[in-house]
Structure 1
Amino acid sequence: MDDDVNADVVCVASWNADLISRVARPVARGETLMASDFSISPGGKGSNAAVAAARQGARVALLARIGDDDFGRMGMALWHDEGIDTRHVEQAAGERSGVAQILVYDDGDNSIAVYPGAGTGLGARHAQAAATLLAGCRVVMASCEVPAEATLEAFRLARAAGALTLLNPAPARPLSDELISLVDVLTPNESELYLLAGPAHAGSADEAAAQLLARGARAVLVTLGAAGCRLYQAGHAPLTMPGRAMAVRDTIGAGDTFTGALAAALARGEPLAGAMQWANAAAALSVTRHGAIDGIPRLADVAALIA
């Protein structure tokens, strides 16, 4: 992108290389299982969501910090190929990029351990350096794979300029009231919803969502896997969108695809309920292929599924 061109979506992004092994089932403590396949591919919740938004037609820019290593160069090559603006990606000399070790099971589910690497150094200064970019965009999105201070400053700057803020609170961790109050759309899955709400929800998703709305989130959009998603907004009855029956290859990146497609739809002016439909369909398509990046669909694919 040229310096005078704004992005539609800015992603406060995590980046890592995915080291993926396929095994029959979860590994027990102290146990060794033989894997049937192994691959290395691009990953990171922020990077995945940014690619998803770009493939849904949005002009996307990143705020990120990566290692000046082979895995970091993999990320830069990916973003270049996807047409994503990397002017605000810092390549940290002498530091390693993040890595995710992923086990994919025969039933399509997975377990993931993430080492964030150079991404731990992403901070408020990176958001401040990108203040003009943040002021000109329509949606800013982030996940909990990046330091909270980077997200907090980016959301402050975006909100002040009238942009929407979108937070995928994964991996789940407690969030400050200050950050939650800056979130226009919070997109937890069910387990993340309960962790964020704390022990007072009594096992009720409705109560847990109500607590997060009371703390300042403008909308809580809960992803339910194969069951679809449910939208909560103060003063409105919950809106449930059913899932779609798909042949599941694996679920890696489905949540990131949902987030990125949601951001792209909001950036092009879809109302939240309409954007939710696009995100739901994109996530459904993503599980029909192996891997995070290969599974992310294009806008035309999602439009065809919705039609």
Structure 2
Amino acid sequence: MRTVYVAGSLNIDQRIQVQSLPRAGETVIGDSLVLAPGGKGGNQAVAAARSGAQVTFVGAVGDDEHGRLILQALAEAEIDSAAVLVDPGTPTGTAVIPVDEHGENAIIVCPGANRSLTAAHVEESLGAVRPGDVLVLQLEVPVATVRRAARTARAKGAFVILNAAPAPTSVERLFDDVDLLVVNEHELAVVGRLSGATAEELADRTLELAGATGTAVICTAGAGGAFAAAHGTVQHVPAPSVAAVDTTGAGDTFVGYLAAALLAAPSDLAGALAAATAAAARAVTRPGAMESIPFARDLNASG
């Protein structure tokens, strides 16, 4: 059976509800604090699994209560986590996420054990990758590890998706073995500038970045939907109109559902975009990141 492999970050999310996001030098009072499993890699893996895909995770956690909570969440999602390192000398990664009354957020990540995910471990853990599999990567783990993972999986015939988040400070050789690059509007501006893409309109900048990197590019634009550029053309998928409660994890939901859809139907990018956009729209109507990710059965029932 073909598999979605996710190599990346695992964090414990500390989500704080606030009336407004703090500005520089400002102190705000939070209304509640919730601890929950997360990390871009973990969220994307759970999204792919909830969409119905078989998922294998490669990552690292600390030998602590937070790490055990994350491993339990992966197990409950029926994700193969045999390749998750447990580092006894480093705490599990942590993300602090204030969320305002409009559902907007800011995120501070302390990588912790995610820095323990080495290129050698990833290469070994991807030994079972086969043609037709999909590998999903992000940038909350060392960039050298991301590059090795992409090269290893691509050489084995897998389709490689890189979610360039957080936005990198350098793109040297980062896209060499990537089939599909996924960014949001902020990341598009950063990566596009680093790659020489300067067009002002969102669709044009997405197309420009695709040409500059030599790979297909998807840009998610929140309520504006998603733009996909490949083979010299760009297509737009609008987002359903919803009342946003919390946008945390929406992008990860999009990436996970996208990967699962492309695993099932590699040539149907339009269908994958539609499925990913619908799932992300549902996710923002619920609080939290991993806990807000919908199951495919929920989407099918409502659609």
The alignment's TM-score, normalised by the length of structure 2, stands at: 0.94
Alignment of 1:41-52 (within 5 A): 41-52=36-47
Partner residue in 2 for 1:15: 10
Instruction: Tell me the CA shift for residue 179 of structure 1.
Output: 2.1
Partner residue in 1 for 2:146: 151
Extract unaligned runs of 5+ from structure 1. Answer: 1-5
Partner residue in 1 for 2:280: 283
Task: Give the stretch that moved more between structures: 8-17 or 128-137.
Answer: 128-137
> 3-state DSSP class of the match of 1:132?
coil
> 3-state DSSP class of the match of 2:262?
helix
- Count of residues paired in the alignment: 300
> 3-state DSSP class of the match of 2:97?
strand
Deviations 1:53-77 (A, max 9, x none): 0000011011101111111111110
Instruction: Give the letter aligned to residue 226 of structure 1.
Output: A
Instruction: Tell me the CA shift for residue 232 of structure 1.
Output: 0.5
Instruction: Give the letter aligned to residue 227 of structure 1.
Output: G
Instruction: Give the letter aligned to residue 108 of structure 2.
Output: A
Matched, 1:246 2:262: no
Percent identity over the alignment is 38
**Residue 175 and residue 278 in structure 1: after superposition, are their counterparts in 2 closer, same or farther (change >3 A)?**
farther
- Aligned 8 A contact 1:182 1:217 in 2: no
Task: Provide the rounded CA distance (Å) in 2 between the counterparts of 1:139 and 1:171.
Answer: 21
Task: Provide the rounded CA distance (Å) in 2 between the counterparts of 1:59 and 1:243.
Answer: 27
**Residue 84 and residue 217 in structure 1: after superposition, are their counterparts in 2 closer, same or farther (change >3 A)?**
farther
Instruction: Tell me the CA shift for residue 214 of structure 1.
Output: 2.8
Q: 1:191 aligns with which of 186, 189, 201?
A: 186
Matched, 1:168 2:163: yes
Instruction: Tell me the CA shift for residue 122 of structure 1.
Output: 1.2
Extract unaligned runs of 5+ from structure 2. Answer: none
- Aligned 8 A contact 1:134 1:154 in 2: no
Deviations 1:163-201 (A, max 9, x none): 111111111113435221321111111111111011651
Instruction: Give the letter aligned to residue 231 of structure 2.
Output: A
The alignment's TM-score, normalised by the length of structure 1, stands at: 0.93
Task: Give the stretch that moved more between structures: 136-145 or 212-221.
Answer: 212-221
Task: Provide the rounded CA distance (Å) in 2 between the counterparts of 1:29 and 1:107.
Answer: 20
Matched, 1:113 2:115: no
- What CA RMSD, in Å, does the superposition of the two structures yield over aligned residues? 1.7
**Residue 213 and residue 175 in structure 1: after superposition, are their counterparts in 2 closer, same or farther (change >3 A)?**
farther
> 3-state DSSP class of the match of 1:52?
helix
Q: 2:56 aligns with which of 52, 55, 61?
A: 61
Task: Provide the rounded CA distance (Å) in 1 between the counterparts of 2:58 and 2:289.
Answer: 20
Task: Provide the rounded CA distance (Å) in 2 between the counterparts of 1:200 and 1:219.
Answer: 14
Instruction: Give the letter aligned to residue 288 of structure 1.
Output: T
Deviations 1:227-261 (A, max 9, x none): 1101111232x101111111211101000000000
Partner residue in 2 for 1:3: none
Task: Give the stretch that moved more between structures: 212-221 or 244-253.
Answer: 212-221
Task: Provide the rounded CA distance (Å) in 2 between the counterparts of 1:273 and 1:126.
Answer: 34
Instruction: Tell me the CA shift for residue 211 of structure 1.
Output: 3.9
